[in-house]
Structure 1
Amino acid sequence: MPTGYSGQGFSLRGEKARYVLPPSFRNTIAPTDADARTLCLAKHDRWDCLTGFAKSRVATFEAQATREEQAANAKGRDFDWDQRMAQLWGFKEVSFDASGRFILPDSLGRLCGMDGGICFIGGSPFFTLWSPDKLYAMDGSWAGQQALCREDEAEALAKAKRK
């Protein structure tokens, strides 16, 4: 059953080019040891970031595209069903271990400028993964998320210096 994600987290790229998925997100994707630890990653359709979600979300793709098509039609806008479905289904499956460590595919990292740290932001049926620089470049409506990311990034950098 699809689930929601809330909260925020931050991860520096660690040894072996791995990042760490925040506990609340990984526990939503794989709440028990019997669940597959598979993170689905895709480029967000409007923002310069990635989306992350559990594979169970694919069951909602057709309904989501239908809602988006109806909204576009109500506003007199064009809607390309095939393109939207290709966007929704255009995700990469990435495994993560019990500690949440995963390797971000280079192609996705380059697409969104991720090369050092990732800020994770909950967003209900999916969460977003941001390069801090890309998040900080967003407008003032993102001020809360930007402030939390700056704080989390500073903590992660200070912790890394102590090691």
Structure 2
Amino acid sequence: MKSFRNKIALGLLLASFSGQSNALTINATFDSNWLASAPPAATAAVNLVTGMFGSLFSNPGTVNITFGWGDVNGQALPTTALGATSNVFVNGSLYPLSTVSNLLNAYSSSHPSNAVMASVVQNLPASVTNPGGQALFAISQAQYTALTGTSFATPDAYVGFGTG
């Protein structure tokens, strides 16, 4: 089961990776704690890294990430924490393997030159269950954007930097 989930995760990641032109926009926004307390060099570093990452992707779309200083999505981080992340999932729901397979198949069909994705799709199992009995998957908004080009108006993820 772990191997299968790793394949799904790899497929979702590789679906959006390419060394071609910068079609992915990563919008970095900063919460009030960041604006009040983060050193200017931290903001410059975030803007540099988001620009670099955006240039590695060719899929059209926009990923919105909100950065916090000492918090993640409004939740204070322990003083010993280096940082934390929080993803936002499509509709806050879990989806069956068929939905994940359909997304990966559609992406692969529309990007026939992506041999890695074609291999991922060829190796998807027909069914899967986990020890709890359910075969449901969470799809993050960022993954959905990478596969479909559909962007969301809300943040796709939150990143918090520790201050201790």
TM-score (norm 1): 0.24
Larger Rg, first or second structure (1 or 2): 2
